Structure 1
Amino acid sequence: MFAQALRDLLAALGEQSPPPDWPGDLRAAARHALRGRPARDEWFAPLVRAAVYDPNPSYNRRLIEPALKAFGRRRVQAAVLDYLRTGTNAERAGAARAWYWTQAPLTYIGRSPTPTPESQAEYDAVAGLRQQWRDAALHLFVSTDDLGLRRQLLPGLDLRTAHYPAELRETVAQAIHIARTHPDEYLRHRVEQQI
């Protein structure tokens, strides 16, 4: 699926797709094709799809960053959130991997705990989407039985009950209980690192 998503992206970019047995890295070909070109709207969906389908949680950054630069954080986050809400379990897991790179980073002034006004403004501009992601990911973690999906969701889950409205605090407690008592060692270990 990922290779096909990259081939679809290359086609949208107007690039010749290498033959199926091509030994090169399709990721690199797509990234190279994106460089230095003004973005076109028809690239958006194939670019986000390729990022979501990328199985590597580090390399998908090479697709998310050009999407952020070309189309803006809000639009990219909304598309990734849509995959989380409506995708297959594999797409939802990919959305969780991609979401990490879509987040607005805070840059601090010197060694102080005060963010720069510019980074704070960018962070605040997507606060609503961040909350929607948090709520959707929490509900999905609790409701799914798919281990792979749970493994992708847990590292990005905010498990601090104070960050949720009162009506979701029991769901946070349920997520913690599921992870702590799950037969999967990774979930049991990971939850303890987060709380």
Structure 2
Amino acid sequence: MVKLNKIYTKTGDDGTTGLVRGPRRSKADLRVECFGTVDEANSFIGMARLHTGSMPKLDRLLARVQNDLFDLGSDLATPGADPAGAPPSLRITAQQTAWIEEQIDHYNEGLKPLTSFVLPGGTPLSVALHLGRTVTRRAERLVVELIAAEPDVNNAVLVYLNRLSDLLFVMARVANANGDSDVLWTPGKFGHEGQSRG
């Protein structure tokens, strides 16, 4: 059980932070950047939930994702193997990713087929989900970099983030009347208009 009685400790005033185990690291450390970006994605998902009023099932789905992302952040904040005899560290699992895939398959079935790339737009919920998606993609890219630098990273973290960005894309379309209100990209539209006026 996590217990937080004191919000500031002053231990980070030197620009370092503590992980679950191991020596303190710079707040500019790549591993810290990874779980910080995951936290940022989680915040955008929380913002999206402000707009799920008429979609309680979607709200419950996003609530579970937020909880999963805390599991994932804990995973990233716990480098190295568990010491002998210690309880197992909290790790993201293949089962959590499988659940994400189930949601993608379920909700994608009812979506209008795409004829172009989708621009972030439409409803406030859709836009917030696109923000969460793009930050999740950034977290994914950072984790790829971390895996190259520290090979003890749980690969399930990378797979989960990859799948989550797909889910958020699908959810953003669901939030746009199952794709009917999607804002589609028209390649070169405004550039061609400018040429015709010239």
TM-score, normalized by length of structure 2?
Answer: 0.29
- The structure whose residues are more often helix, as a share, is 1
Indicate the structure (1 or 2) with the bigger Cα radius of gyration: 2
Higher RCO, 1 or 2 (CA under 8 Å, sep at least 6)?
2
- The structure whose residues are more often strand, as a share, is 2
